[in-house]
A and B are shown apart, each in its own frame.
Chain A
Amino acid sequence: MVERLIQEASSFAGSIDGLIALVMVLVGFWLILAEAVFFWLIFRFRAKPDVRTQYITGKEKHLKRWITIPHALVLVCDVFIIVGAVRVWYNVKQHLPEADYTVRVIGQQWAWVFQQPGQDGELDTADDIYTTDNLYVENEKTYHFELTSRDVLHDFSVPVFRLKQDAVPGRTITGWFRPTVAGTFDIQCAEICGIGHGVMLGHINVQTASEHEQWIAQHSPASAQ
């Protein structure tokens, strides 16, 4: 359902959309049922002349059942959702699959700075590539990102990946993603960071293998080659 509004472009986007769909079905069922009963009761028991109200104490077992049974069913639905949520959460946030590459993402007022490995494929070497606001990655490769901030809280979010993580100054937080669709996609800052929060637009450019190899070759600092 979400994918109708915005495409899925990462390996875990589908599982997140799936969880949202699960919640939508379960929650939608209860919402529609509750609202239907609610409106029906308003209609059925609207005031009519000479019709007295019933005196119901709430202790009547056959009536209490109408509360206790939905109560139990809601709990069961909650369990399904909890299981789904924990599984997706574990995959996306707790478990770090092995990385093909690692990139560093630094948020600051009001831009994104990226540090990527150069041709040697290793971070923190002389041939690293630094870019601002544009991150270039290779399709179908697993990336770790090491996220931090230079000043205030920011949040690195790529909606098409369904990816989001706060950038905290003084900490380096590691996450991962694996792009599955080539193209250029928005990076939004998802934590208010001052008056420039709305202009911290970035782009993540997912390239094919050959495009990416070319890009790295072109952009690695000449002195290191």
Chain B
Amino acid sequence: MAQTHEHGAHADHGPQGILKYIWSTDHKIIAMQYLFTGMFMAMVGGFMAYVFRMQLAFPGTSVPLYGVVSPAEYNALITNHGSIMIFWVAMPVLIAAFGNFCIPLMIGADDMVFPRINRLSYQVFLLSVLVVLASLFVPGGGFGGAWTSYPPLSANSAYNLTRLGASMWLTAVALEFVAFLLGGINFITTLMNSRAPGMKAYDIPMTPWMIVIASIVFMLSVGPLIAGAIMLLFDQNLGTGFFDPNRGGDPILWQHLFWFFGHPEVYVVLFPAIGMVIDIIATFARKKLFGYKIILYTAVATAVLSFFVWAHHQFIAGIDPRMANIFTVTTLLISVPIAEMLFVSIATLYGGSIHLTTPMLWALAFIGEFLIGGVTGIFLGASGADVYLHDTYFVLAHFHYTFFPIAIIGTFAAFTYWFPKMFGKMMDDRLGKIHFWGTVIPFNVIFIPLFVLGLGGQHRRIYNFQNFPELQHMQPLRILATGALIVMLFFQIFFFWNVIKSWISGPKAPKNPWKANTLEWTADSPPPHGNWPPDQLPKVYRGPYEYGHPDAPEGMDYWPQNLPPQNQPARG
């Protein structure tokens, strides 16, 4: 009997009661842990942005809910805003939360291959969260040397004045790296080995593929920085001189170790976001992805190239000027595969039947906004132009036009898309659309002025531009950006209201509300422990994007991967 069989195979249901949410090894629970922690950290990082933008718009005044911002606090705010958004929001949400939730479900597996290592990865991650938050409250204050943490400033507390904060910040980052190395092992091996019978490599949807490619890039790029972090921790605490020029060390070595990771890292967060956006576009355009293999190959090409562009962050850092030319070439070349990925996504819309649901709006906004982010990178990759634009607000606007689509727009796209599967309820589409417009329009009003400020010569990480005669005239732009940020933060209320309302009293979600093809939509909403009854794990008969196929059963405009073909022998 299916019932007893299920009971036998899962005699150990895992922890019960409240312990289930803290000690579980179920990939879906671990995903929720990462998701909620990441969203909490997004609020912390967002609050920091509010505070420092208020300081910039109204220098020296007391910021409501914070107080007066001192120069040291300003540096700590911008340092931790950046670090938190990348390491404790983008990575946990895009990779660990959606990776954990979606990968087993989308490949037809009952869990990750190493559930206990999965649990350990979250525990290490949580520890890193506690350390970085604690670092803000220790004597001396939070570390203020920017998320790039260049020595000698970061190595010597006589320079940075944040003895404890600096080491705690660095320790937190190192712990986060360990957590994601542990997590990556699960994602990669699970995708490689635990696919449903019949699911060949090119039948895997983009979401799992991209998360795994990202994990591989992360694992191969973070090593030198871990080595560097150990050296910097020793400089900070043991008195070594790895980066101290007075003792034969080299500050620029840190920069190379950092950016060798730092540049691939941006693709580590881009790939999961664009993978999920692609899946969402295919579903709501009811259309087969235009170039599945092109996307895969360009992703791999981008990943490989990403290891050869890092010194574009260091054009004027004191590296040999001849090296700059090599990196300009590689940097501008990397724009080509990425452009192709975006062109293929846009081309998928051709011939489709586009339904502008909330997830689709977010996915389309990702494409439209990321295009701007991507093209503005060209200015910075051109070494001659970077002489002027380096360390200005132009850089800041460029990377927010890439990171915001990745970490915020991409997250909202994925969250509104998979909410029914995760929580078993449908979200309110009207509230979703209010939240969407109230986020995306202000986003542009924040960052377009920042491009102008950068072109006007305004540099980063300065707490009061009224000190600089040539920059004073642009103050209205700063106030405009801050005002837009406050509007955007206000509209997040609609998101929280929607989540709570839907979770409590939203309409019950069917298994496949979006009529999508991929395997997660064949499980219950939400899926039980084990995802499917153990003897009913799905088998796969076709690719994930067979929308609008003329041979699909009963005139359906979609053809789920697990439906056996009508007149052909079953696969697998």
Contact = CB atoms under 8 A, between A and B. Distances in A.
A113 interface: no
A27 B455 contact: no
Interface string A167-204: 01111010000000000011011111111111101000
Interface residues on B, range: 35 or more
A220 interface: no
A201 B467 contact: yes
Nearest to B340: A71
Interface stretch (A80-88, A125-133, A137-145): A80-88
Interface stretch (B7-15, B95-103, B145-153, B223-231): B145-153
Nearest to B320: A94
Contacts of A119: none
B291 A67 contact: yes
Given A53-B548, A56-B290, A164-B316, A192 B153 contact: yes
Interface string B64-91: 0000001110110000000000000000
A121 interface: no
Interface in B298-321: 316-318, 321
Nearest to A64: B291
Contacts of A46: 353-354, 356
Given A27-B378, A31-B375, A35-B368, A45 B349 contact: yes
A189 B463 CA distance: 13
Given A186-B469, A188-B468, A71 B353 contact: no
B178 interface: no
Given A86-B383, A166-B317, A198-B464, A71 B343 contact: yes
Interface string B26-63: 00000000000000000000000000000000000000
A74 B379 contact: no
Contacts of A197: 71, 75, 461-462
B245 A31 contact: no
A198 B71 contact: yes
Nearest to B284: A47
Nearest to A39: B368
Interface stretch (B270-278, B385-393, B406-414, B485-493): B385-393
Contact of B354 (A42, A66, A109, A189): A42
B159 A45 contact: no
B457 A5 contact: yes
A85 B368 contact: no
A165 B391 CA distance: 11
A196 B144 CA distance: 11
Interface of B: 70-72, 74-75, 144-146, 150-153, 156, 159-161, 245-246, 250-252, 285-294, 316-318, 321-322, 324-325, 328-329, 332-333, 335-336, 339-340, 342-344, 346-347, 349-356, 364, 367-368, 371-372, 375-376, 378-379, 381-385, 387-392, 452, 455-457, 459-464, 467-471, 547-550, 557
Given A58-B344, A168-B252, A201-B467, 9 more contacts: A41-B346, A46-B356, A55-B548, A63-B290, A71-B340, A153-B251, A164-B388, A171-B245, A188-B468
17 contacts: A19-B385, A20-B455, A23-B385, A30-B339, A45-B352, A47-B354, A47-B355, A63-B350, A67-B291, A71-B343, A75-B336, A85-B382, A88-B385, A155-B391, A170-B245, A193-B153, A197-B461
Name the 9 nearest CB pairs between A and B, nearest first: A170-B245, A88-B384, A159-B457, A54-B351, A53-B548, A85-B382, A5-B456, A198-B462, A41-B349
